[in-house]
Amino acid sequence: MGQLRRLAGMAMVVGVLACAVASTALRAAPVFDLQPNPHWKAELRVTSAELLVQREAEARKANAYGCEQYCALLADIFERVVRVATYQVPGGADHDWQLIVTRMPGEEAWSLPDGHVFISEDFIRRNKLDAEQIAFVIAHEVSHVVLAHEADTVDIVRRLVPFGVSASVSDVYATLDFDMGLLLRLAPMMSDMELEADRTGLMFAALAGYDPDRASGFLRKLAAGEQHQAVVATHPEDPRRLAEAQQFLPIARRLYALHDTLGLRAGSTR
């Protein structure tokens, strides 16, 4: 579920489920004090829009556009998680939040930095995900967006490579396509971003009313599966992801117990 490599070359988008996320006045102060990186926002939006148009055209050509089985469930989960995230993170409501549901075999879940979140129904069926586990997956991707992990990565690449002052986001992606040494240098940072998205996603899901013990079951499934060693490991090993997330379960359980008091239950307009 990484960020930068997905934006450059992720599998095709095969459907859009737009979720209008209404602004909701909540009664409690934010739980988190998260300050996302604002750099590259405008250019990343342009790049995201271009990729979205490309993937949509490919999906329509393949006659694989739109969800079939999980539309209502995914829309409800997405609305709840985004409502929490946009309240907790300054500027989170400025994104163009949409849930894009795929039917493409082999596609999983990923996100664009402008607020488009992608998930495959094949991925849900293949892993037998329940509502809580889907909520964790979506909250993980929403966390990547609101924490501006893509912008952070672009900033760091610009500092590592002597582009000059005119370097663009496209320059960064083009460099990452052929510079294996650069990817190796970035891998530890990108792994840390995945762990941060796990932690934050677990908290967002709990505040949205999803039991964190059940939500973290997705990571237990990953850790119990066959492990593959990548040449460039931009994701932590699954057992490490599970172990790191479990350290935050006590906090997530407390947030889950408070989600009703905080006015974050599904459908709440308090």
Taking only the tens of pLDDT, the chain with its 270 residues reads 444 433 333 332 333 343 434 333 334 566 766 666 777 778 888 888 888 888 777 777 777 777 889 999 999 999 999 999 998 887 888 899 999 988 877 788 989 999 999 998 999 999 999 999 999 999 999 999 999 998 888 888 887 877 555 567 888 888 887 788 888 888 888 899 999 999 999 999 999 999 999 999 999 999 987 766 654 556 789 999 999 999 999 999 999 998 877 655 443 433
Q: What is the pLDDT of residue 233?
A: 56
What phi-psi label fits residue 235: left (phi over 0), alpha (psi between -120 and 50 degrees) or beta?
beta
Write down the residue that tokens 């009313």 correspond to: 209
What separation in angstroms does the CA of 239 have from each of 13, 97, 108, 218? Answer: 29, 31, 19, 12
The predicted structure's pLDDT at residue 4? 40
Contacts with 68 (C-beta within 8 Å, 6 or more apart), sequence order: 103, 121
Nearest residue to 108 via CA among 98, 125, 123: 123
Q: Sign (positive/negative) of CA torsion 53, 54, 58, 64?
A: negative
Answer yes or no: is 12 within a domain. yes
Residue written as tokens 């795929």?
A: 102
Residue 11 lies in a domain: yes
Question: What total number of domains does the chain contain?
Answer: 1
Tell whether 246 is covered by a domain. yes
pLDDT at 88: 87
What domain range includes position 122?
4-258
Residue 49 lies in a domain: yes
Per-residue confidence (pLDDT) for residue 239, from 0 to 100: 93
For residue 118, tell me if it sits in a domain: yes
- pLDDT score recorded for residue 207: 93
Q: Which of 209, 160, 163 is nearest to 189 (CA)?
A: 160
41-61 and 169-178 are packed helices; what angle lies between their axes, rounded to 10 degrees? 60
